[in-house]
Amino acid sequence: MEINEISKFLERERKEYLKQKVEEYESRGFSRPEAINKANQSWIARIGGKIQDVIFILLEKELKNRNLKLTTDKVLKGKNLNAELDMVKRKLVINYGEYLFLPDADIVVYKNCPKNDVKIVAIVSVKNSFRERGFETTYWKLKLLESPITSSIKVFLATPDKDNEISFRDPKGRPKKMRIILEYELDGLYFLKEDFERTKKAKHFQEIVSDIIKLSKEGC
């Protein structure tokens, strides 16, 4: 599968999954409407992790020949990290006085530098829906800007936005509040779909690779 095929892949997965789950719920005695509702809820819970896994694999495939590496916040929160990942973690943590926390970083792109150092190039936040915690990614971007150690880290958001919560203007032709703030605060929005309002910062997901490669050419 290629980068530009993600949206088609996810749509096929959704249809197959919903068909299977509806049949399963109906066999357990639920009515057709109840089965459809439960299947949709189940898909929403499943799709977030699914999208992240697919994006991680595809980005890793595209970027490994560019001497770029990927990890996740889940990995960095683990114990017994090797020296390289421990360095990545230290370059990413945010200071809250006597406490240090990792931001939510679904995918972290970094590169090795001279003298056993690393540089974090970008964080890719993956969101399926903006109905809950919609501004979470912008919060972490603003926190990263507070420190000279983390201020250069670019924060991108990748989304299929299936419900068109940020893809288009409202019926009166006005930009939606969520879209305005995300586009203003973040370094790029990347849509895993073909139909959306494009701007300098809002692009198709296939463009994220070239944008990351450009960033990676900056010195350590």
Q: What domains are defined for the chain?
A: 66-216 (3.40.1350)
Closest CA to 50 of 126, 132, 103: 126
Residues 41 and 175: their CA atoms lie apart, in Å, by 28
pLDDT digits (tens, 9 = 90+) for 75-95: 999 989 999 999 999 999 999
Residue 135, SS3 per DSSP: coil
Q: What is the pTM of this model?
A: 0.86
Question: 44, 48, 46, 102: which is closest to 74 by C-alpha?
Answer: 102
**pLDDT band at residue 3 under the 50/70/90 scheme:** low
For residues 43 and 204, which has the higher predicted lDDT (pLDDT)?
Answer: 204
Average pLDDT, the chain: 90
pLDDT in tens, 159-189: 988 788 999 998 888 889 999 999 999 999 9
Tokens of 28: 């357990």
